[in-house]
Amino acid sequence: MKKVILLFVSCLFIFTSCSKAETDNYKTITLFEAYQKFKDSAYEWNTDAKLVHITSVDETTSKNDGNEGKRKVWTAIFYSDSNKQSIVLSINDGKMTELTVTSEEIAEDQLIDKINPFFDSDEALKYAQKNYNLQLGKQWALGYNYTLYKNNSKTILCVIGEDSYGYVTKVYFDFDSGKCLSAERMVPTGGNLMNESQILIDDGFVIDADISPNYKYDNTIAVNHIVKPMSSTAFYEVKISTDKGTTWNNYTFDEPVVKIKFSDNCTLQIITSSNMYKLTTNKLILLKSFSEIIDADILGNNIAILTKDIL
């Protein structure tokens, strides 16, 4: 009896280990591995099916971040010219799902007949990390993401992440040759194209500005702006210059600045989303705190604040 139990337990252990190994193998796959799985299902749907595009999908509940060029969740669109239909397929942890079939017409020059296996998302990521310092996405896209599509007769692999400043960055490759074509970062004020030797500089978005009532004599300017806007490392800053903008003193805040304005006595009033400050002789002084400030205005030496607090 003990031998039977031992044999059963041993078989159960082997079965469990094999099942776990199989699950682990499916956990993350490269873009080309995803294509191979998609292709089989697409051909079962229609033998003339051709690929339109493949893209990885963010996983908000998973620690999988697309490192090593692999993701767990992928979607793909295949098109059949014979019945003028497209099918959307999804792979999640190795399980194939048919999402939808739609009737439409897609031009032949947008279809990918076949792709070569010698270049894949893992190699593309290594190149992007080495040459463009591509980092994990934290805001607009989580981790590294990958998409494959046709453009101007070329099959393009795009690797998406962030640069060292937190801006969404895309690196493009010719998937057939493995050659890097270009790279760009999504900044709000120009300079989108990158190259491998470019030194990136801080970017800013001005929200508000004011000059001292005594500007003719003190040459003082104040600027309220967001540093590295639209990035995961964005922060709020008020800049003060007393020499017409040649040099600046910076005051950083961890919450949005609602309003800045000089009072009649040349003191700069700063209203954030929950605090009221004044800046005088280069000293930032907290005057009062609120749970939330909705709006504010400053007229002369008077400050009006709209807040959710009951006073």
Do residues 173 and 208 both lie within one domain?
Answer: no
Taking residue 161's Cβ as centre, other Cβ atoms within 10 Å add up to 25
Q: Global pTM?
A: 0.59
* Residue 188 near residue 206, CB atoms below 8 Å: no
**pLDDT of 152:** 81
Cα-Cα end-to-end distance for the chain:
80
Q: What are phi and psi of 60, to 5 degrees?
A: -70, -20
Could you say which of 158, 185, 212 is where a domain stops?
Answer: 185
Domain count, the chain: 2
Range of the domain at 227: 204-307
Q: Which residues contact 198 (CB under 8 A, 6 or more apart)?
A: none
pLDDT at residue 189, rounded to an integer: 54
pLDDT for residue 8: 31
Percentage above 70 pLDDT, the chain: 82
The per-residue pLDDT for 20 is 38
Asked if the structure places residue 210 within a domain, the reply is: yes
Render pLDDT for 243-252 as a digit per residue (tens, 0 to 9). Answer: 887 888 899 9
Domain boundary, last residue among 157, 185, 213: 185
Q: Give the end of a domain, one of 127, 153, 185.
A: 185
Amino acid in position 151: N
Q: Residues 40, 180: one domain?
A: yes
Residue-wise over 205-242: b if at least 16 C-beta within 10 A, else e?
eebeebebeeeeeeebbbbbbbbbbbbbebebbbbbbe
pLDDT at residue 86 in the model: 93
261 and 180 in a common domain: no
Same domain, 90 and 155: yes
User: pLDDT tens digits, residue range 30-88?
Assistant: 999 999 999 999 999 999 999 999 999 876 555 568 888 999 999 999 999 999 999 99
Q: Are strands 221-227 and 204-211 parallel, antiparallel or unpaired?
A: antiparallel
132 vs 203, residue with greater confidence: 132
Helical (H) or strand (E) element with 18: helix 2-27
Average pLDDT, the chain: 80
**Residue 7 has what pLDDT?**
34
Mean pLDDT of all residues in 149-163: 90
In a domain, residue 209? The reply is yes
| Per-residue confidence band for 197, with pLDDT thresholds at 50, 70 and 90 | very low
> What confidence tens digit (pLDDT) does each residue in 131-140 have?
888 998 887 7
Is 138 exposed, middle or buried (CB count within 10 Å of its CB: 0-12, 13-18, 19+)? Answer: middle
Contact 208, 224 (CB under 8 A): yes
- Predicted local distance difference test score (pLDDT) of residue 98: 83
Supply the DSSP symbol for 193.
B
Cα distance between residue 71 and residue 30, in whole Å: 7
User: Residue 204 has what pLDDT?
Assistant: 66
